[in-house]
Amino acid sequence: MRHTIRELAGTLKRRAEAWRAWAADPRTPRSSRWLVGLAVGYALMPFDLIPDWIPLVGHLDDLVIVPLLLWLALRRVPAEVRAEHLGTPGQAR
């Protein structure tokens, strides 16, 4: 279990570094940067579109909206930029 947590932490760290590199790369579209900003802003926002006290649905919006915004942002980053910063030619992880 401890080994799995370390692997997960390492993966999350590499992903965060890749996102930072993608954002700094001039080839990354501005819309991708805006979508990441929206995802971070929504995750840190003190209120939600659907309040958390509503059973199941209240937390479900956080689990859907933030990953959806990040997925949309990632799709807009050119494949060569993703590959260059992740170290895997032609595909993103």
List, for residues 12-62, the tens digit of each pLDDT value: 888 888 888 998 999 999 999 999 999 989 888 877 778 878 888 888 888
- Reply yes or no on whether the pLDDT at 7 is more than 70: yes
Backbone angles phi and psi of 76, in degrees to 5: -85, -15
Confidence of residue 92 (pLDDT cuts 50, 70, 90): very low
Backbone angles phi and psi of 3, in degrees to 5: -65, -40
What pTM does this model have?
0.72
- Joined tokens for residue 64: 């859907």
Domain boundaries along the sequence of the chain: 2-86
